Each structure stands twice: as structure tokens, then as C-alpha cells.
A = this chain, B = another copy of it.
């Protein structure tokens, strides 16, 4: 079925010279007779020769490929990050190979192993929600392939990372809701084994504490998806109609809440003010448009790739770097009253 890629050997045979001469001729090596060079180069073009990257990778122990492992590509945030990674990686002569963990620990391990045995030059990783053991990352460390974590770093591994000011972002969003006269705000929080979950929750809580707002047993709800929010929010509002503000851990959850709230014929922002987190595409599709915290996906991708490129191209072993990006509160109509 599969045909035959033209190789250096084919060219050599055709011209009755050795493969080494062909190789050198193609690289314009000064040792080669100009006429031979021309013959080789012409024939190579004519036969549509393409150097075999696999052979090169085996020989030179580098593949010019970066492995990217993310939870789910369908989330706009992650695809934005990938665009940022690709920009910087391509400019530096690298290609990327993207794997999804689908938020599954097992799939994440499998991906790491597969990439490790493919001579990948470096990793860019954002951990799955369900990952609580880290042997697979230790394996990477052991082999000595550089890793950069973004957004959801693994705390147990000494590696470069790019994160955003989650705490401050959450704090600012909460303060903004308070300034807009919310008296009873709940937080739809992310998983607490991830730093982003913890930090956003803490930013929220500390803003409330600073303003001496009471924290009830229902103030924190663990809910971080569109569907879950659609289900949970009506139940919550039924029991606690006094709620007048929601800070959601991400935009999907905020959007799910908005739809549920509008179905209850409550007005946003008049009855309930809402803020999300991420500033993804959907934050200006909703009606009213969603106040949110810009998570700088594209910059994050670029920074991660830049850190990795630096790491891959440097000889000595320098200490891990953590790059913290500033968030930005994007105020739209869902919270202003």
C-alpha cells in the first residue's frame, strides 16, 4: 500500500556515487565538486527528495518536536494557549504534537509515556483534574527532558511554570461584585487539588473577609462546568433566594448559571450579578455580556513555549523559573448596576 519515499541512497545509486557524497552535496559542503553538487541537487529536486526526519531524529537524538499535553482541546482557553505555543515554537523551528488527557489521570500517564519514547525534545503540560500521583512526571525528570507547566502546574516537580495571578484575579472580581452592591455572593469553585481551584477560592474568601461579609455553609459550591451549573444554580436559588451575586471559577460555569437564572425570570445583573473567569470567546456571546477575569491564554502559551525553548537550547542547568502573568478584570454588563 504505502509507496516509497525517495532517499539519499536512491539518488546515490542513480548517479553512481556514495550516499555520503550525496549527503554532503545537499548540504553544500565545500569538499564537493561543484559539478557533482549540481547533479545531486538537480536530481534531488527532480525526484522530490525530502530528508527523513525519523532517521535524523534517531541519529541526532533530537526531534524538533514539542509534546503538549492538555486536559481538553474543546475548551477555548486551551486552544488559545495552543495557538500561543505554536506561534513561538514554530518561529524557533519546532513542531508541536498535541495530546489530550480528557481530564483522566490514566490517559495523561499514557500520553507521557508515548511521547517519552518518541524522542520528544520537550514537554508543555497542564495537569488533569484527577491527577494526584506524579510518577509519570518523575519519569520525564529522570530522562532529563525539559518540562514547562502552565495554568495547572504539578507542585511536586521542579520545573518551569507559567501561571496567572489567580488569587488577585479572583479577589478583584469579588471586590467588583461587592462594589456593585452584592450582599450575598456565592462562589462556584473548581477542584481543590489544583492550585487554580485553591487560589481562586482563597481570593474570593479573602475579599469577603476583608469586607466582613459573612461566609455561610453554602457560600462555596463545588461546580465547574456548564451543565453542572445549569442544574445546581436553580436548586441553590430555590433554597437561598437571598443570593444576589455569583463568582464562577470559569466562563462556562458562569454561562451555565446565566441561562439557568434567566429561565427563573430573574434579571442579570439587577437581581443577580455575575462574574466568570478566563475571558473566553463565550464571555461576549452571552446576554448580557459576561464580566470576567482575563486569563491571558495566548500570552500564557507564548511564555510557556519561550521558557521551554530557552531550556532546550541552554547547556547548563539553571533553576526553574516561574512566570506569573497579571490578570485583568474585564467589566461587562453582567455585573454592573
Residues of A within 8 A of B (CB): 1-5, 48, 50-55, 57-58, 61-63, 73-74, 76, 79-80, 82-83, 86, 95-100, 113-114, 116-119, 121, 139, 142-146, 255, 259, 262, 281-282, 284-287, 311-312, 314-317
Contact = CB atoms under 8 A, between A and B. Distances in A.
Contacts of A259: 284-285
A31 to B, nearest CB: 25
Given A5-B143, A286-B287, 16 more contacts: A1-B315, A2-B62, A2-B121, A2-B143, A4-B144, A5-B116, A48-B139, A51-B117, A54-B54, A54-B63, A54-B118, A73-B82, A97-B97, A255-B285, A282-B282, A285-B285
A317 B286 CA distance: 50
A95 B114 contact: yes
25 contacts: A1-B144, A1-B311, A1-B316, A2-B62, A2-B146, A3-B143, A3-B145, A5-B143, A48-B142, A50-B113, A52-B117, A54-B54, A54-B58, A73-B79, A73-B82, A73-B83, A74-B76, A74-B80, A74-B83, A79-B79, A83-B100, A95-B99, A259-B284, A281-B282, A287-B287
A276 to B, nearest CB: 12
Nearest to A262: B287
A48 B286 CA distance: 50
A311 B51 CA distance: 25
A2 B143 CA distance: 7
Nearest to A3: B144
A82 B172 CA distance: 36
Number of copies of this protein chain within its complex: 2
Please indicate which of the listed interface residues A73, A96, A255, A315 has the most CB atoms of chain B within 10 Å of its own CB.
Answer: A73
Contacts of A144: 1-4
A17 to B, nearest CB: 23
Contact of A1 (B51, B55, B146, B281): B146
A98 B95 contact: no
Contacts of A315: 1
A316 B1 CA distance: 7
B86 A2 contact: no
A54 B97 contact: no
A118 to B, nearest CB: 5
A314 B73 CA distance: 31
Nearest to A288: B287
A98 B127 CA distance: 19
A54 B55 CA distance: 8
Contacts of A100: 83, 86
Nearest to A316: B1
B114 A54 contact: no
Contact of A74 (B55, B79, B143): B79
